[in-house]
């Protein structure tokens, strides 16, 4: 199903946008727990986030996507960790990753198809199903690993 949707939608996205750009947030609780989400349409645990819309800044897209997916309201100014090529998703896709340390979560959305589950994981006990890109970003941010260019 995922392959069919990608085959159908990719040409449309390519006509609409020369490049696709997404944002993801590393939501940090107490300096050691990371908020992750599990989608209904793809496997693994991911950092929350999504696509940047036309006439939308990276920070406003981050705030909108994180709140839609998790109920987290971004406070203060998140720190840009980096922008990464995500060419396995599309030949011109990039993802901007921000570290969010100031936030509140007044509500937690109920599970639904897009986000089936959300959970905080200790950095020392990340889920085995964490995506490779998310795992790399966390190692760069918290374990001083070299920052790569690719998701």
| pTM listed for this prediction | 0.87
Low-confidence stretches of the chain (pLDDT < 70) are 1-17
Q: Name the token pair of 136.
A: 């790399």
How far apart (Å, rounded) are the C-alpha atoms in residues 122 and 7? Answer: 37
Phi then psi for 43, rounded to 5 degrees?
Answer: -75, 160
Q: Which of 21, 71, 48 is nearest to 131 (CA)?
A: 48
Positive or negative, the CA dihedral 91, 147, 96, 50 is positive
pLDDT at 5 (0 to 100): 61
Q: Show me where the domains of the chain are located.
A: 19-143
CATH topology of domain 19-143: Nucleoside Triphosphate Pyrophosphohydrolase (3.90.79)
pLDDT at 21 (0 to 100): 94
pLDDT at 13 (0 to 100): 56
How far apart (Å, rounded) are the C-alpha atoms in residues 7 and 73? Answer: 34
């Amino acid at each position: 199903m995922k392959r069919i949707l990608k085959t159908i939608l990719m040409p449309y996205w390519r006509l609409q946008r020369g490049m696709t750009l997404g944002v993801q947030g590393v939501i940090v609780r107490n300096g050691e727990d990371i908020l992750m989400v599990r989608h209904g349409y793809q496997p693994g645990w991911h950092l929350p986030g999504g696509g940047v819309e036309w006439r939308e800044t990276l920070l406003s897209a981050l705030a909108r996507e994180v709140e839609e997916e998790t109920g987290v309201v971004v406070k203060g100014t998140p720190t840009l960790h980096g922008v990464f090529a995500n060419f396995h998703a599309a030949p011109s896709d990039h993802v901007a990753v921000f570290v969010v340390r100031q936030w509140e979560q007044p509500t937690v959305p109920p599970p639904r198809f897009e986000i089936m589950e959300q959970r905080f994981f200790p950095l020392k006990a990340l889920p085995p199903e964490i995506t490779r890109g998310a795992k790399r970003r966390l190692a760069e941010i918290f374990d001083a690993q070299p920052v790569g260019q690719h998701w």
